Amino acid sequence: MNVPNCEISGLIEFLVRARAAPVNPSHFKGLIGKGYGLEYLADIVRNALFVSKGHRENVAVSLVLERSKDFSRVIRFSGASLGSFKDLHETAILNRIFDALCAAEKLKKNEELKENEGVFVSAQSFEAYFSSKIQTQTPYLLDKKGQDIRLVTFEPEPLFLLTDHTPMPRNSKKSLLKSGISAVSVGPTILHSSQCIAVVLNELDRKSI
């Protein structure tokens, strides 16, 4: 099988929809370890950004926390400007998300602030953020029925869409596919979101050789 060469010279971003994750900081922290799956978010950030002895400067991961009384919160970890991460364990990463939520409590719709080095947070919906990103990036939906990732030639600045541990709403998925977005599969086995991200990055690394 011939693997297309497609060296990615620009930004690689993962846009993760976390439908059940609360934006209220105290609520978020209170649900950690209680079976609500918030720990998946830490795994996602770790697998997207960090490698042995460093991090990927050309990668960003954006978490859209949607359980809110007003607006969703988009927390974006940017490898290009990421500061010091002294600890990469689950609690440390979840604390960074908690801190971002605290900083964003009074944000108005569509406002964004820089919470810390490499960590940005905004008050906007998944749809609004997605619409703004596809002006400059090419979206791909990670889906088990998509084209084998090893057969795909990616555009220079790919935006990969996925969810945490909760499925993408059926209507949202249908709408995305009808819009012409390409669906990509990482293999026949259903993996955790963080594992999917690791596979995608490994395949992109191999394609750039």
Q: What pLDDT band is residue 7 in, cutting at 50, 70 and 90?
A: low
Ramachandran assignment for 132, one of left (phi > 0), alpha (psi -120 to 50 degrees), beta (any other): alpha
Write down the pTM of the prediction.
0.92
Q: What is the pLDDT of residue 6?
A: 56
End-to-end C-alpha distance for the chain, whole angstroms: 16
Domains of the chain: 12-204 (3.40.1280.10)
Q: Render pLDDT for 106-134 as a digit per residue (tens, 0 to 9).
A: 999 999 999 888 899 999 999 999 999 99
Query: Which of 138, 154, 145 lies closest to 201 in space, CA to CA?
Result: 154
Helices marked H in the chain: 25-31, 39-49, 90-103, 126-133, 170-178, 193-207
Tens digit of each residue's pLDDT (9 = 90 or more) over 160-186: 999 998 888 889 888 898 888 999 999
CA-nearest of 39, 38, 42, 40 to 23 is: 38
Distance CA 136, CA 70 (A): 28
**Residue 4 pLDDT:** 53
Judged against a pLDDT cut of 50, whether residue 189 lies above it is answered with yes
Average pLDDT, the chain: 91
Are 129 and 74 spatial neighbours (Cβ–Cβ below 8 Å)? yes
Mean pLDDT for 11-28 is 96
**pLDDT value for 78:** 93
173 CB burial (10 A radius; 0-12, 13-18, 19+)? middle
Distance, in Å, from the CA atom of 168 to the CA atom of 17, rounded to the nearest integer, reads 8
Q: What is the pLDDT of residues 97-108, one digit of tens each?
A: 999 999 999 999
| pLDDT tens sequence across 144-165 | 999 999 999 999 999 999 999 8
pLDDT of residue 5: 54
Helix axes 39-49, 90-103, angle to 10 degrees: 100
